[in-house]
Each structure stands twice: as structure tokens, then as C-alpha cells.
Amino acid sequence: MILRPATAADARAICAIVNPIIRDTTITFTTVERTPEAVTAEISERLPAFLVAEDDGTVLGYATYGPFRGGPGYAYTREHSVHLALQARGKATGRALMEALEQVARRQGIHVLVAGISAENLAAIAFHARLGFTETGRMPQVGTKFGQWHDLVLMQKILRAIGAPDSGPASL
């Protein structure tokens, strides 16, 4: 397995990973499937903070981050996503992606990574806890999908970013 920055050529494979999650699960509360064009734009906007794991040319998963909230007071905080193909789950692919993404975040001066996780996704909560994320909040019934309300768990990890707050984070 190799980890590398995503390229536009990965967009279709990323859609093949995330769209079944969007369509069939409450792992994400969104109901709008991703298009290769939208993923290509996101890759372009977020590099170097958009990584893929691949094995023999097959994309196994991806990790990325973007703004947590608007405004300059949140400049050092990012919310991340990590999604894996079914065949990559439970094989340390997610851990490898997240460790690499944390290194990118540190180099960019990011201080905190946030995970917004469906409370039903116990595996993701446990995964983040193993990576050193701490649960910081639960928001009851803030998401809706499949005609039901869903709770959101917020977890965060404080990074030892390179640079002081007054130096400003590198742009996405």
C-alpha cells in the first residue's frame, strides 16, 4: 500500500467509495452523491490535504480536511473525513491515512482536527479514540436521514502544530 496526494484521476474511485456510504448508510447525513467533477474540484482546493491509499493501482481509501467553521477565529482548526473501500477496512489503511493527514496538518500549522461522527457509527468512534481523539460533545437529533433523526458525536485531537498562532496556518 502506498499513500500519496490525490489527483483528478482518482475522482471516480473516490466516488465509488463514498457514494455507497452516502446512499446506503447513516455514516454521513448527506444524501447527495458526489460527482467526479465535484471531487476533482475538492482535490484541487485542498491539496496537499487530500490523500489516497492505493494498492496495485486500486484506490483503497482517502482522507482529507477542510474548514471547520467560517471566520478567522477557526483558522487553526479543520474538520476531516476518512473513508475506506470495504476491502480495506480493518487492515490499518485508515490509521495510515490519518497519521499521514496529521503530518500534513502539522506542516500547515493546523492546531486541531475535528471529527463529526454519526453516533450510530461505533466503529468510527472507536477508531478515532485509538488515534488519540477525545469525545468533546454529542448533539442529539441534529441530522436527519432515512426519515429518522440522528445524533452527532464530535471528537477532536489537538496537534502539536509547527509554528505559533500568530504565524498563521498555510492556506488550503
pLDDT, tens only, 110-141 = 999 999 999 999 999 999 999 999 999 999 99
Look at residue 162 in the predicted model and tell me its pLDDT. 57
Query: CATH code for 2-164?
Result: 3.40.630.30
Binned at pLDDT 50, 70 and 90, residue 164 comes out as low
Q: Which three cell numbers stand for residue 65?
A: 480536511
The per-residue pLDDT for 1 is: 92
Edge-first strand listing for the sheet containing 77-84: 2-5, 50-55, 58-67, 77-84, 112-118, 148-158, 134-145
Give ∠ CA 140-146-150 in degrees, rounded to 5.
10
Side-chain-side CA neighbours of residue 1 (13 Å)? 17
Q: What sign does the dihedral 10-15-21-24 (CA atoms) show?
A: negative
**pLDDT for 172 beyond 80:** no
What does the CA dihedral 52, 116, 141, 85 come to, rounded to 10 degrees? 20
Q: Which three cell numbers stand for residue 93?
A: 489503511
Mean pLDDT of the chain: 93
Determine the 3-state secondary structure of 135 from DSSP.
Answer: strand
Looking at residue 61, its pLDDT comes to 98
Q: Does the structure show a pLDDT above 80 at 168?
A: no
Confidence band for 160, pLDDT divided at 50, 70 and 90: confident
Q: What is the pLDDT of residues 50-84, one digit of tens each?
A: 999 999 999 999 999 999 999 999 999 999 999 99
Please name which of 59, 56, 122 lies closest in space to residue 86, comparing C-alpha atoms.
Answer: 59
What amino acid occupies position 99?
E
The counts of H helices and E strands in the chain are 4, 7
pLDDT over 60 at 167, yes or no: no
159 pLDDT band, cuts 50/70/90, is very high
> Do you find a cis peptide bond into 169, omega within 30 degrees of 0?
no
Element (H, E) at 143: strand 134-145
